[in-house]
């Protein structure tokens, strides 16, 4: 069976050679969408991190500090981490993934996120994986929810239960990317809803929230607030990338 799959892969690669979504060169396998050189150029985030929101912090890798934003505001999630810095080639990839429906990269993104999770020990004691939901109107326009695609793949790789039906977005808010931190928090407040069945299924469960990008954390924090209010256990957050630098 494995031999047949291997031969099928070779045949597909001969007929429809894959190319790197960043530099355009042909890759070795039909389902390889990021070449080895471009993968090396993606900057993996390294500790120390803020032990709450995962912000890049100064100091030794073993340091466990809390950043000023987390000290001065209500943070409902227990821990958030992002696998890569949101810069250079990764920006193009994420933009294609989010807005151009380039779902071919979902497996590679999920593999990279899962490897990062295992490296930092946040792949353990997860009862349920939830994506950050989209409002139906925006989902209708975009057709795909990148967070949902990533969450499904990560759940499959970790053999953890997934649901995209528990957490709903009920307010079609303005795009967060154009707002200040304070405006983002105000914009997103009250926009998520946990279904009755979701409230039962998440009660006392350790939840992993999955999103593509972490900016101020206002979106994932609002989702965590809704979950904690309903009686969930720990709520951790993982995202593919985050755009920050040392404070």
Residues 69 and 161 in one domain: yes
For the stretch 119-167, pLDDT in tens is 999 999 999 999 999 999 999 998 899 999 999 999 999 999 999 999 9
- Give me 188's structure tokens: 């997103």
Q: How many domains does the chain have?
A: 2
Helices 218-229 and 181-188 meet at what angle, rounded to 10? 40
Task: Answer yes or no: do 30 and 52 share one domain.
Answer: no
Do 193 and 149 lie in one domain? The reply is yes
Would you say residue 181 lies in a domain?
Answer: yes
pLDDT tens figures, 185-214: 777 888 999 999 999 999 999 999 999 999
Residue 2, pLDDT score:
45
For the stretch 12-70, pLDDT in tens is 454 566 788 888 888 777 678 888 888 888 999 999 999 999 998 888 877 778 999 99
Q: Are residues 19 and 86 in the same domain?
A: no
- Same domain flag for 178 and 219: yes
Does residue 71 sit in the same domain as residue 135? yes
Whether 15 is covered by a domain: the verdict is: yes
Kindly state whether residue 95 falls inside one of the protein's structural domains.
yes
Question: Do 158 and 188 fall within a single domain?
Answer: yes
| In a shared domain, residues 5 and 123 | no
For residue 31, give its domain range.
Answer: 1-40
Residues 25 and 132 in one domain: no
Q: Is residue 212 part of a domain?
A: yes
* Contact predicate 70/49, CB 8 Å: no
Report which of 231, 223, 161 is spatially closest to residue 200, judged by C-alpha positions: 231
- Residue 86's pLDDT band, with cuts at 50, 70 and 90, is very high
- Side-chain half-sphere of 93: how many Cα atoms within 13 Å? 28
Give CA–CA dist 2/10, Å, rounded: 12
Q: Alpha-carbon distance 75 to 53, whole Å?
A: 8
Residue 54 lies in a domain: yes
Per-residue model confidence (pLDDT) at position 15: 53
What is each CA distance from 81 to 3, 13, 90, 219, in whole angstroms?
A: 38, 35, 17, 14
In a domain, 247, yes or no: no
Q: What is the CATH number of the domain that holds 199?
A: 3.40.50.2020
Same domain (yes/no): 155, 210: yes
> Based on the domain organization, do 212 and 124 belong to the same domain?
yes
Please provide the average confidence, as pLDDT, over all residues in the chain.
87
Say whether both 23 and 60 belong to one domain: no
């Amino acid at each position: 069976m494995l031999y047949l799959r291997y031969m099928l892969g070779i045949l597909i690669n001969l007929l429809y050679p894959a190319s790197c979504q960043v530099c355009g060169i042909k890759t070795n396998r039909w389902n390889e969408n990021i070449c080895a050189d471009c993968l090396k150029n993606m900057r993996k985030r390294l500790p120390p991190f803020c032990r709450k929101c995962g912000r890049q912090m100064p100091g030794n890798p073993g340091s466990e500090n809390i950043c000023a934003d987390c000290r001065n505001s209500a943070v409902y999630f227990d821990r958030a981490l992002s696998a890569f810095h949101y810069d250079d080639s990764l920006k193009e990839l994420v933009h294609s993934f989010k807005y151009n429906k380039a779902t071919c990269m979902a497996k590679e993104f999920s593999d990279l996120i899962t490897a990062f999770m295992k490296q930092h020990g946040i792949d353990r004691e997860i009862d349920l994986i939830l994506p950050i939901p989209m409002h139906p109107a925006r989902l209708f326009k975009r057709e795909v929810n990148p967070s949902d695609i990533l969450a499904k793949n990560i759940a499959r790789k970790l053999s953890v239960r997934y649901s995209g039906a528990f957490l709903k977005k009920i307010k079609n808010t303005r795009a967060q990317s154009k707002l200040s931190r304070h405006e983002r928090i105000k914009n997103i407040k009250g926009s998520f809803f946990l279904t009755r069945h979701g409230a039962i299924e998440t009660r006392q469960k350790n939840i992993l929230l999955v999103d593509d990008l972490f900016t101020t954390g206002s979106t994932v924090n609002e989702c965590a607030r809704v979950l904690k209010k309903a009686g969930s256990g720990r709520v951790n957050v993982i995202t593919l990338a985050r755009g920050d630098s040392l404070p």
